[in-house]
Structure formats: C-alpha cells, structure tokens
Structure 1
C-alpha cells in the first residue's frame, strides 16, 4: 500500500441527487491522525470535439447556473447507469448538435477536480459527421455554433470558453495542427 494512502474509517451520506451524491468521509492520515474529506460522487461524463468537413469546431452555447452565465463548450454529458463512454459520446453528440458519427477517436480520460470529486471525463474527437436531428434533454437549452480553431482560441482568451474540458480540447486541436506543419 502506498505510504500516502488515507484509510476511510467512517462515511456519512449527506445528499443523493440526480447528477451527484455528496458524502463526508473520516480518514486516517499517513501520520496516524484523522481528518474529514467532503467528496462529490459523479457517474462520469463524456465530451466530444466534433469537426466539420470545413475544419470548424462544433460548439454549444449554454447557460450554466453554477456560473450564472452563458459559456461556450464542446458537446458533453454525463454517463447513464451502465452506459459505455463511447455509446454515451455518440448519444450526446447527436442530442446536443444534431450530428451523428459512426466513428469517434478516443483522446484521453481525465479527472475534473480530484481534490473533492471523482468525476472523470472521457474525451473523443471526430471529423466524420453526418447531419442528424438535435434532441436536447427537456431541461437543456442551447445554441449550436461552428467556429474556426483561431476563433476558438480567441474565445478562450476572452473567457467565452471558460471550462476546463473545452480549453483542453482547443489546446489539443492547436497542438495537433502544429504537429501537421
């Protein structure tokens, strides 16, 4: 066992919700003392970087209540119970953008906020888009926009794009484009 491991000695469930659960865990620290950890449990999510034939990034504008503002993001959504990330990515892409893709390339999985949450996002990319039908969740309202990589980089600079998964995706695209030169 790693010398940094914290052994959980007690767990208290605080909240069980539709998207997250919150618990407080009492842990034994490596030095023998105890502490408490507030932990957000999340089922995981997917995010997709869709690219049109013209090389445009397909993004969504969406109001985010936690931020109390509209931001621009890559299409994304949470995993449904028992759902594989690839199937979820295909579903979310079509629901949010109306595009279908038979093939998605996996880029990477990453934790969003490991200091307090176990949420993991599985990031995919595709340039094999076919027009389908937009069908967002009943409580989801969004605009679809298509922008060049340069426009997306500017949106990062002016914080229109302001979330980690989308900033990561834009930087990934920039590095990919630089690698082609």
Structure 2
C-alpha cells in the first residue's frame, strides 16, 4: 500500500482573495478545484512560523503565565514567539527564551516541528530543548505582561488537568519532558 495519496486528489488554487493583513497574520480566501472538478473555498491564515522552548532548570520547566485574549483567560505556557522574516528557528528560540524568562541556554536541541492548525493555518512551530541555563535579564515585548515560574513535571501534569496549560505546544513539551525523564531521550 502506498503511503502517498494520488496526485489527482490535490486541491488546485484557482484564485486568492486577500482579506486581512496584520502584524502577525494574514487571512485569505482561496477558491480551489476539488478532485471531482467542483470548486470550493478555503479560508487560510498565513503565519510566519514560531519557535518554542522546553527549558529545564534543576529538574523544573520554565514557564510564563500571561493573559490570552482569544480565550479570555490566563495561560501557563513555555516560552515561545513568532519568527522574524528569514529568521532561523533556533535563533528565534534562543531570543524568546531570553526575552521572556531572562535565561540563556548553553545548548538548544530540536525536539520536533509541527503545524499548529493545518485545517486553516500554515503556522509551523519548532520546539527545542534548552539545557545549561544561565540567568540574565527578562526583557519581554512592550505589549507582553508575563510572570515567570519554574514548575515540576507533577505540577505541569496537574495544570494540564486543570486547563491552566491548554495549548498544544506546552502540552507537547510536557509529554516530551516526561518521556525524556523516563528514557533519557526525546
């Protein structure tokens, strides 16, 4: 059995209508040709990508707590941020770790890269493990209000149950950390 779907099942773009261009995302509506010859529309969010960091300090994970307006609640998350144009994701990961937590990493190791919501967005997130941390100065973006903490794996798992941690990147990082603690590998 082939692992690849037939090429004729691909959706071909017939036209693109720009809807919105913001600082972080753009929104477009594409008219596409379906494999059966019919047409349909796809609402697509374009995002430059992001990097996130599972930063371990003395068997604790560095997290930031901040208010997330789309959900209208506070969230505990791993440090993360948007890629600048043409930026290497590992450079973004190091920058975001330092800006949000004040820590620098001796080493950053790739864990995974994944699309956050492929049904409507092209955002790809790169997840790194940061080790050998040294403290420095917190320097968040001017519109970021963060509280930095270092939590145990048990706390992280409890926060997932309580939905204080409910974003995919942080949940993935917590489970990667648990695997790392059990096996020594990611």
TM-score (ref. length: structure 2): 0.94
Aligned partners of 2:152, 2:9: CA distance in 1, in Å? 44
Report what 2:46 is aligned to.
41
CA RMSD of aligned residues (A): 0.9
Give the Å deviation of 1:176: 1.8
Aligned partners of 2:53, 2:63: CA distance in 1, in Å? 9
Give the Å deviation of 1:126: 1.3
Residue of 99, 102, 126 corresponding to 2:106: 102
**Cα-to-partner distance string for 1:24-51 (whole Å, 9 max, x where unaligned):** 0000001110000000000000000000
Aligned partners of 2:141, 2:135: CA distance in 1, in Å? 19
Aligned partners of 1:4, 1:47: CA distance in 2, in Å? 33
Give the Å deviation of 1:127: 1.8
Report what 1:14 is aligned to.
19
Does residue 1:4 correspond to 2:3, yes or no?
A: no
Give the Å deviation of 1:122: 0.2
Does residue 1:140 correspond to 2:144, yes or no?
A: yes
Report what 1:160 is aligned to.
164
Structure 1 residue runs of 4 or more that deviate by more than 6 Å after TM superposition: none
Does residue 1:31 correspond to 2:25, yes or no?
A: no
Residue correspondence of structure 1 range 87-98 to structure 2 within 5 A: 87-98=91-102
**Cα-to-partner distance string for 1:127-152 (whole Å, 9 max, x where unaligned):** 21011110000000000011111110
TM-score (ref. length: structure 1): 0.97
CA contact (8 A) 2:45 2:121 kept: yes
Aligned partners of 1:99, 1:116: CA distance in 2, in Å? 34
Aligned residues: 179
Give the Å deviation of 1:3: 2.6
Question: What runs of 5+ residues in structure 1 fail to find an aligned partner?
Answer: none
Aligned partners of 2:111, 2:70: CA distance in 1, in Å? 27
Give the Å deviation of 1:4: 1.9
SS in structure 1 of the partner of residue 178 of structure 2:
helix
Question: What runs of 5+ residues in structure 2 fail to find an aligned partner?
Answer: 1-5
